[in-house]
């Protein structure tokens, strides 16, 4: 009859393979819908329904790159179901599917397609039990010609970090990409980059500083202010907890539940920000004639050498260990602690602090060389000098244990100089507040007696 609607063509009689290869996009959608139901109904991850797509991942690639935008969104939805129900076996298709998502979906004008593509990438992180390879697949998206595709790639990186955390997604490669993100001409890309940095900061804190050091000063200022606002709101370093876990993590949780181990709400983990930073060879950056200038009779030569050295050592970085060179350097810095020029003393203390923080526990081998000269110099009455020495001493202590440091401090508790005695007591107190290791049993009595004797000291600050 004239005016009657054309009946919808029924493709259900065709096989899945025929519908997937059909020129009519509605036939392909019909196949996608059938596959979603099939995957959802599978009893296990080893079901034969998954085999054709695991052995031929290009079939999945064709789904997520379908030429029809409506069918493409349904195709991405189909692959989500495939990965979710095929489990860890589906990880074998990642290297084919994820680059296709980055290339064809993250810049989609359809919000549903983009959102589902991001979800699919997150599903791949789950079944691959790690995000490193997936991040490597996403990073080329930062070179896309369309700004919206670049913004989509940055958004994926942000969601991976935020939802899985830095253990599942080690952020070193993301750190390296930050300068490129913030150099992009598109405001949306840079805004997504800011959200990425804030997600990183809530996990790793100041470890992001070296990564953003190359940005424009105004960008560094804005990011620093945003991170400070997060910290003030209780969302600072260590505050974030992963919202999603990998399949391996799920199995571990199930084992604990089966064993009757209750999950206890743990306090925020202390994260070493340097564990996510690449090592830096600072020895190669040492100023020329360093040791000759440190031993110069002219204080300006010594000060210039120390300032140049501090510029190398004090930025937040993970310093590559170099025992012979650092042993010589620490001895030279110890020799500058009695320097007649207080500016040289403060610069030397800054160098010790930077080296200890950047090197971490390996610096502990130089403790005996440097701690005593620094405590001896606490006789200085100028507050800025004692503050610099205090920061350096604290940095050194962070590389050793409380029992290690006791032998260095005890002799100074009976010093004839009240400033040295006061500084030693304050340092000991800070060590006791932060230590997680108690003194060794033989150390308890001499330490207790030394501290008790200070209660009757003639100097009020010491008491």
Average pLDDT over all residues of the chain: 89
Burial per residue of 396-432, b for 16 or more beta-carbon CB atoms within 10 angstroms, e otherwise: bbebbbbbbbbebbbebbebeeebbbbbbbbbbeebe
281 exposed, middle or buried (CB, 10 Å; 0-12, 13-18, 19+)? exposed
Residue 304, both tokens: 């210039």
Residue 8, pLDDT score: 67
Residue-wise burial string across 92-119, b where 16 or more C-beta atoms lie within 10 A, e elsewhere: ebbebbbbbbbebbbbbeeeebbebbbb
Q: Specify the pTM.
A: 0.76
Q: What pLDDT does residue 288 have?
A: 85
- CA distances from residue 101 to 60, 63, 78, 128 in whole angstroms, order as listed: 11, 10, 13, 17
Q: What local confidence, expressed as pLDDT, does residue 411 receive?
A: 87
List the chain residues with pLDDT less than 50.
Answer: 1, 4, 266
| pLDDT score at 1 | 42
Which pLDDT value is given to residue 273?
66
* CB of 277 closer than 8 Å to CB of 175: yes
Query: Which residue in the block uniquely carries the two structure tokens 């195709």?
Result: 75
């Amino acid at each position: 009859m004239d005016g009657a609607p054309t009946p919808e063509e029924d493709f259900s009689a065709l096989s899945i393979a025929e519908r997937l290869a059909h020129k009519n996009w509605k036939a392909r959608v019909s196949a996608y819908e059938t596959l979603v139901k099939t995957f959802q109904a599978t009893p296990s991850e080893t079901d034969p329904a998954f085999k054709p797509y695991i052995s031929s991942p290009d079939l999945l690639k064709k789904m997520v790159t379908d030429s029809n935008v409506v069918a493409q969104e349904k195709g991405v939805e189909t692959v989500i179901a495939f990965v979710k129900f095929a489990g860890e076996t589906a990880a074998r298709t990642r290297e084919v599917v994820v680059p296709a998502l980055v290339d064809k979906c993250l810049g989609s004008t359809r919000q549903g397609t983009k959102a589902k593509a991001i979800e699919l990438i997150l599903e791949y992180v789950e079944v691959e039990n790690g995000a490193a390879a997936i991040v490597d697949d996403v990073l080329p998206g930062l070179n896309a010609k369309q700004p919206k595709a670049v913004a989509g790639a940055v958004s994926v990186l942000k969601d991976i970090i935020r939802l899985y955390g830095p253990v599942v997604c080690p952020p070193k490669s993301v750190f390296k990409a930050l300068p490129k993100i913030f150099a992009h001409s598109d405001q949306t890309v840079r805004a997504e980059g800011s959200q990425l940095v804030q997600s990183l900061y809530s996990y790793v804190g100041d470890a992001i500083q070296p990564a953003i050091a190359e940005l424009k000063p105004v960008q560094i200022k804005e990011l620093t202010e945003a991170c400070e606002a997060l910290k003030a709101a209780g969302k600072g370093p260590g505050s974030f907890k992963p919202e999603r876990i990998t399949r391996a993590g799920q199995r571990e949780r199930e084992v604990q539940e089966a064993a009757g181990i209750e999950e206890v709400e743990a306090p925020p983990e202390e994260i070493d920000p340097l564990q996510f930073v690449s090592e830096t060879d600072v020895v190669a950056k040492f100023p020329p004639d360093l040791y000759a200038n440190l031993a110069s009779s002219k204080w300006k030569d010594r000060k210039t050498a120390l300032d140049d050295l501090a510029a190398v050592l004090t930025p937040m970085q993970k310093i590559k260990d170099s025992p012979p060179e650092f042993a010589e350097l620490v001895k030279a810095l110890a020799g500058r602690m009695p320097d007649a020029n207080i500016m040289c003393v403060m610069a030397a203390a800054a160098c010790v602090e930077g080296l200890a923080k950047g090197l971490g526990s390996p610096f502990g081998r130089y403790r005996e060389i440097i701690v005593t000269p620094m405590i001896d110099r606490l006789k200085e009455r100028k507050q800025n000098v004692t503050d610099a020495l205090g920061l350096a001493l604290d940095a050194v202590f962070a590389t050793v244990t409380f029992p290690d440091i006791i032998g260095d401090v005890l002799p100074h508790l009976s010093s004839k100089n009240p400033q040295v005695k006061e500084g030693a007591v304050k340092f000991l107190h800070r060590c006791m507040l932060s230590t997680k290791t108690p003194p060794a049993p033989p150390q308890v009595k001499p330490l207790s007696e030394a501290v008790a004797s200070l209660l009757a000291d003639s100097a009020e600050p010491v008491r």
